């Protein structure tokens, strides 16, 4: 039952069907629950939030990306899937945010200059809020100067940078360099994430960690806290 719901959720993300009223690429899906209804029924069936996000929503978007790469899908298809995932996250958001109210530290997050992908960043922001961090989300296409200014002014312990394009991942390096130039690099832990980046890239640009997803970020931050690093 749970597996069927998650499989249907993933398939409806791939087909960009936000609700029961939407048509899919596959006509057989017409009149069947869409991403919104399936997310709700996953919750009603006590499927863990982590499973809904990782195996349903994110796994679906992964396939959308593959279809875009092979030119089976175009930008409107990606957008339909993105909107469906956004609607699902609106349903999950209150539950994720309510799970913890203690403040573990300030986390500033941004999608770097030139990049407008925000689904992953938004998921990370919501998960970290739920894990007890005070999150300041600067949005997408954020200029490097703005990021440095916020780090200088509001003194967060952590900075999260997101980039999904091989072109914009280079901006992450620019941010780390700008923090160094401003003399505040050692005041903040820099975490990077997004489809384009890796552990190796984090090391190369001098970031403190690469995270595969928001759950991984929570573990990394908790490890920083345990080792007493501020
Ligand atoms: C949806 C989507 C879009 C949507 C974005 C809508 C939105 N509001 O975000 C739209 C249609 C706007 C779009 C536009 C473009 N896109 Co696009 N897009 C995607 C797609 C299909 C899914 C991205 C996504 O949302 N994934 C789901 C989320 C949950 O995963 P995620 O973002 O990776 O985030 C998770 C982790 O990476 C991590 N994470 C992410 N950030 C951070 C940050 C921190 C601090 C931490 C700790 C963790 C973390 O945690 C997240 C949660 O699990 C990807 C394919 C892919 N496989 O990534 C292509 C993809 C990224 N896009 C691509 C391209 C080429 C483009 C365009 C250039 C297309 C065009 N010709 O115009 C434009 C660029 C626009 C721009 N300037 O940014 C390419 C990039 C290729 C490359 N190597 O650079 C991809 C890989 C598709 C492909 N296979 O070709 N896109």
> Ligand 1: which atom is nearest the Cα of residue 82?
1
With contact defined as beta carbons under 8 Å apart, do 156 and 189 qualify? Answer: no
Q: Report the CATH number that the domain containing residue 25 is assigned in CATH.
A: 1.10.1240.10
Q: What is the pLDDT of residue 230?
A: 52
The residue among 98, 118, 137 that closes a domain is 98
In the three-class reduction of DSSP (H, G, I as helix; E, B as strand; rest coil), residue 137 is classed as strand
The residue among 98, 125, 143 that closes a domain is 98
Q: Is 157 in the pocket of ligand 1 (CB under 6 A)?
A: no
pTM of the model: 0.87
Q: Report the CATH number that the domain containing residue 133 is assigned in CATH.
A: 3.40.50.280
Domain carrying residue 52: 2-98
Are residues 111 and 221 both part of a single domain? yes
Q: What is the pLDDT of residue 62?
A: 87
160 bridge partner residues: 109, 191
d(C-alpha 151, C-alpha 169), whole Å: 19
Q: Is 166 in the pocket of ligand 1 (CB under 6 A)?
A: yes
**Mutate which of 69, 78, 137, 172 for ligand 1 pocket (most atoms within 8 A of beta carbon):** 78
Q: What is the mean pLDDT of residues 172-184?
A: 98
Are residues 192 and 115 both part of a single domain? yes
Question: Could you say which DSSP state residue 186 is in?
Answer: G
The residue among 98, 122, 144 that closes a domain is 98
Q: What is the mean pLDDT of residues 55-64?
A: 91
């Amino acid at each position: 039952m749970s597996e069927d719901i998650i499989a249907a959720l993933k398939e409806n993300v791939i087909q960009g069907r936000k609700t029961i009223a939407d048509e899919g690429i596959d006509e057989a899906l017409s009149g069947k629950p869409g991403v919104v209804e399936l997310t709700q029924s996953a919750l009603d069936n006590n499927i863990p939030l982590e499973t809904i996000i990782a195996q349903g929503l994110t796994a679906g978007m992964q396939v959308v990306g593959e279809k875009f790469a092979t030119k089976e899908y175009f930008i409107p298809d990606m957008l339909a899937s993105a909107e469906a995932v956004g609607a699902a996250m609106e349903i999950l958001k209150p539950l994720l945010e309510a799970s913890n109210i203690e403040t573990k530290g300030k986390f500033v997050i941004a999608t770097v200059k030139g990049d407008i992908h925000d689904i992953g960043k938004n998921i990370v922001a919501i998960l970290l809020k739920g894990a007890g961090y005070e999150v300041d989300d600067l949005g997408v296409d954020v200029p490097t100067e703005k990021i440095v200014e916020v780090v200088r002014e509001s003194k967060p312990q952590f900075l999260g940078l997101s980039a999904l394009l091989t072109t914009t991942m280079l901006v992450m390096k620019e941010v780390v360099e700008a923090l160094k130039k401003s003399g505040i690099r050692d005041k903040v832990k820099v975490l990077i994430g997004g489809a384009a980046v890796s552990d190796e890239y984090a090391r190369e640009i001098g970031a403190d960690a690469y995270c595969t997803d928001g759950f991984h970020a929570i573990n990394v931050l908790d490890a920083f806290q345990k080792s007493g690093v501020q």
